[in-house]
Chains A and B, each alone.
Chain A
Amino acid sequence: MKNNIIILGGGQAGIYAAREIRQNDSKSNIKILGEENLLPYERPPLSKDFLLDKKKEEDLYFYSSDVLKNENIEFENISINKVDFENKKLFAKNDNVYSYDSLLISTGSENKKLTLDNNLKNDIYYLRNLEEAKKIKEIVSNKNKITIIGGGFIGLEIASSLSQLQKKVIVIEIGNQLMGRIIPKQIADLVQNTHIEHGNEIILNKQIEKITKKNGDYGILLNDNSLIETDFIIAGIGSTPTVKLFENTNLKLDNGIVTNQFCETSIKDVYAAGDVSNFYHPFYERNMRLESYQHAQNHGICAGKNIAGVKTEYSSIPWMWSDQFNLNLQLTGICDEYDEIIERGNDINNGVIYFFLKNNKIRGACGVGIIGKVGRDIRITSKLTEKDNIVDKQILSDQNLKLNKLIQK
């Protein structure tokens, strides 16, 4: 049967869903509605290789327009401002109306903004999309002392890139460690040391009282009355799911769009995937919302299968990475539900991993090392986590013993 399938949101989850639907359904109309006038592109390089000029805009696109054309997937740059779930219609700002039989919402997430009480809102930069990355790249070429507000992944990746561009970088973080939302302190401290070794200044436990502007430069007053003088400010203070469009509808929202393990929302024929979805994870037996490359891809694919009628449960063990300087940090599973921590390795050159166990089974792990050094073990850990077996702690803690011995058992 031929259906109209609309994918609202032209990011990674959307494009992977579209291609997966097409693999399973050659007849239906598939249309992606994207707010950016760009085909879906990779975001991870924006804060790293794009700023460093190692990757150009044309390197970022997941697929060319030819691929979409060959697979008969339409992409339209349009902004939707109203949804009528009852009559299965989307309304655009330009009065276009789109009818759907199945709808996938993959609107992603958006930056939290600093609350400022003066007219400096346009002076603070954020980095989420290509346009913002281009602006930052252009402006920083003429700046020397740059302050990053927020010591999370995005802020630290930008800090690493700007340091490599010979800029003086200051990072201000409100919490008592970097990347505190999901990264264990042991790993965060190792990353912090690397930033300091490269000349970046890290300020923890400080709130911003006020930002002022004078002669084109800025003063950032902290709650201990210290003043940071800087000539450019970038903020990365977290994100929120992009759900404004659905706030006055019947769609169930709670930190994003609530979905089950099949990417189904509370409304029939409406699915959600990627950053915007607060989904039920059957392995961890709880809902979670993830913002990562692997999740956007795999959740999109899973939604695509379900929309095409191939009932598929989403139970991927979460995995994400961050690259800063010559370090590669990786996280798998969840690291906030544990009764035991096991350390593997103690030298960042060979990689250091912390495993988080509950009832003698791995729930998650986080590691950091010189590029390439923790990836294999973290990948094996994802598989061990999924197997849900009681693990040999001796092997976990001894870097001389290969972890793949555990997986072959």
Chain B
Amino acid sequence: MSEENWIEVGSTDSIEEEDLIRFDHQDKTFCVYKLTDGFYATDGICTHEAVHLEDGLVMDDEIECPMHQGIFNIKSGEAISPPACEDLKTYLVKVDNDKIFIKID
């Protein structure tokens, strides 16, 4: 695991619990979530139609797309309710000195 692929997202207090923030890095965009048991990250764009999930609703471990209510499991990326059928890519997250990092391929 090379160190340079861990990208700093922001401080841990920048996300409310059961909520998310959008994070852009180079030409990629992500969602970073704070759930009750920690931080998670997925691709930012819904796999169904090109809309950002930053305006979606986080409920328990799920993110619901704001456009058509496709639902993904935040931890696994699994598409669990149509119209979404393609899984969402997930990323490793770590917290170091109150800073959130995600590992980008």
> Across the interface, which residues of A come within 8 angstroms of B56, CB to CB?
375-376
B67 touches A372 (CB 8 A): yes
- CB-based contact B67/A62 at 8 Å: no
Q: How far is the CA of A319 from the CA of B18 in the complex (A)?
A: 23
68-84 of chain B: CB within 8 A of chain A? 68-69, 82-83
B49 — which chain A residues lie within 8 A by C-beta?
49
Q: Which of B18, B52, B57 contacts A379 (CB 8 A)?
A: B57
In chain A, residues 371-409, which have Cβ atoms closer than 8 Å to a Cβ of chain B?
371-376, 379-380, 404
Whether B55 contacts A373 by the Cβ 8 Å rule is: yes
Q: Give, as a whole number of angstroms, the nearest-CB distance from A214 to chain B.
A: 41
Contact indicator A372/B64 (Cβ below 8 Å): no
Is A373 a contact partner of B83 (Cβ separation < 8 A)?
no
B57–A323 contact, CB under 8 A?
no
| A321 proximal to B (CB < 8 A) | yes
Contact of B51 among A372, A379, A404 (CB under 8 A): A372
Q: Does A4 contact B (CB under 8 A)?
A: no
Say whether B64 contacts A379, CB under 8 Å: yes
Q: Does B41 contact A (CB under 8 A)?
A: no
What chain A residues lie within 8 Å of B52 (beta carbons)? 372
Is A261 engaged at the interface, CB distance under 8 Å to the other chain? no
Minimum distance in angstroms from B16 CB to a CB of chain A: 9
Does any Cβ of A come within 8 Å of B65's Cβ?
Answer: yes
Known: A49-B49, A380-B57. A375 touches B67 (CB 8 A): yes
CB–CB A319/B69 < 8 A: yes
A328: chain B residues at CB < 8 Å are: 51, 66-67
Contact B64 A62 (CB under 8 A): no
Partner of B82, one of A297, A321, A323, A372: A297
Cβ–Cβ contact A376 & B69, under 8 A: no
A291 at the interface (CB under 8 A from B): no
A348 to B60, CA, bound (A): 29
B55 (CB) vs chain A CBs: closest residue: A372
A294 located at the interface, meaning its Cβ lies under 8 Å from any Cβ of chain B in the complex:
yes
A293 within 8 Å of B (CB atoms): yes
Question: How far does the alpha carbon of A403 sit from the alpha carbon of B69 in the complex, in Å?
Answer: 17
* Beta-carbon contact of B67 and A371 below 8 Å: yes
Q: Does A42 contact B (CB under 8 A)?
A: yes
B17 to chain A, nearest CB (A): 11
- Within 8 Å CB of B64, what residues of A? 375-376, 379
Range, interface on chain A? 20 to 34
| Interface residue SS majority, chain A | mixed
Q: Complex: how many Å from CA A328 to CA B69?
A: 12
Cross-chain contact B67 with A321 (CB below 8 angstroms)? yes
- Closest A residue to B64 by beta carbon equals A379
* Chain B residues closer than 8 Å to A376, beta-carbon distance: 55-57, 64, 66
Question: What's the nearest-Cβ distance from chain A to residue B55, in Å?
Answer: 4
Task: Give every chain A residue within 8 A of B69 (Cβ-Cβ).
Answer: 294, 319, 375, 379
Residue in B51, B66, B83 whose CB lies within 8 Å of A293: B83
Residue pair B83, A42 in contact (C-beta under 8 Å): yes
Q: How far is the CA of A297 from the CA of B82 in the complex (A)?
A: 9
In the complex, which residues of chain A have a beta carbon less than 8 angstroms from the beta carbon of B83? 42, 44, 293
* A323 vs B51: C-alpha distance when bound (angstroms): 12
- Residue from B57, B66, B83 with most neighbouring chain A CB atoms (10 Å): B66
What is the CB-to-nearest-CB distance from B51 to chain A, in angstroms, rounded to a whole number?
5
CB within 8 Å of B: which A26-85 residues: 42, 44, 49, 62
Min CB gap B44→A, angstroms: 11
A372 and B66 alpha carbons, distance in the complex (Å):
5
Report the Cα distance A328→B65, complex, angstroms.
Answer: 12
Q: Which chain B residues (54-105) contact chain A, with CB distance < 8 Å?
A: 54-57, 64-69, 82-83
Q: Which of B54, B64, B83 has the most CB of A within 10 A?
A: B83
Give complex CA distance A199, B55 in Å.
29
- Name the B residues within 8 Å of A62 (CB-CB): 82
List, in ascending order, chain A residues with CB within 8 A of B18's CB.
Answer: 404
> In whole Å, how far is B1's beta carbon from the nearest beta carbon of chain A?
34
User: Contacts A42-B83, A376-B55 given; 18 further ones with Cβ under 8 A?
Assistant: A49-B49, A62-B82, A293-B68, A319-B69, A321-B67, A372-B52, A372-B54, A373-B55, A375-B57, A375-B64, A375-B65, A375-B69, A376-B56, A376-B57, A376-B64, A380-B57, A404-B18, A404-B57
Can you name 14 A-B residue pairings with CB atoms under 8 Å? A44-B68, A49-B49, A62-B82, A319-B69, A328-B51, A371-B51, A372-B55, A372-B66, A372-B67, A375-B55, A375-B57, A375-B65, A376-B66, A404-B57
A→B interface (CB under 8 Å): 42, 44, 49, 62, 293-294, 297, 319, 321, 323, 328, 371-376, 379-380, 404
